[in-house]
Copies of this chain bind each other. A is one copy, B any other.
């Protein structure tokens, strides 16, 4: 074996081993939003404390937005159940799973950030425009943490009454507060996909459902 051939062979071996290691390490840092279906995360975005309460999620404004239902106070006798815009997001790993399979994976975390109406008139026309954040709610699908809940979906409320601060953690809501209505009225697996075009367009469609294709 001459040195030139040895050089080539060692370089190829080096490429194989080292390249694979670097790929494996870097994969763990790649944002789930960009991760393809071969990359999976070990844990859910949902984190529970020692009391079994859901810890308030953070960073969700960088997750995947799925819809903004609006039930304004002035269309509900001043007493909207969900005042007023609800900006709804799904965690990026569960989004990737939805794109691939059309199902909500165990561990899925969906958050709903409540936002008041800041204005009803702008240069673009009459309507409803978002103002300030007023609350945060979440639903988590977890066999481990809510084994007895319908569909294994637990519902959580971080909103404080009469304050824009948020609770640090929240215990699961009683079924009659959330589950019952979601079970009876939501289109797919207790999620109101009928109001979320983002979810409908991407369901088991992969990249074709991410906009502009």
A contact residues vs B (CB 8 Å cutoff): 3, 6-7, 10-11, 13-15, 18-19, 22-23, 26, 29-35, 56-62, 64-65, 67-72, 75-76, 80-82, 85, 87, 89, 92, 95, 111, 113, 115, 118-119, 122-133, 136, 166, 181, 184-185, 192, 194-198, 201-202, 207, 209-213
Contacts and interface: CB of A to CB of B under 8 A. Distances in A.
Contact of A59 (B127, B133, B207): B207
Protomer copies: 2
Contacts of A209: 61
Q: Which 7 A-B pairs have the closest CB atoms?
A: A14-B14, A31-B34, A65-B65, A31-B31, A58-B212, A71-B125, A71-B127
A92 to B, nearest CB: 8
16 contacts: A15-B18, A19-B22, A29-B34, A30-B31, A31-B35, A33-B62, A58-B207, A60-B210, A61-B210, A62-B64, A69-B129, A80-B125, A80-B127, A115-B197, A123-B184, A131-B197
A184 to B, nearest CB: 8
Contacts of A35: 31
A59 B80 CA distance: 34
A85 B111 CA distance: 20
Contacts of A95: 62
Interface centre among A61, A75, A82, A128 (most CB of B within 10 A): A61
A2 to B, nearest CB: 12
B34 A30 contact: yes
B130 A56 contact: no
B10 A14 contact: yes
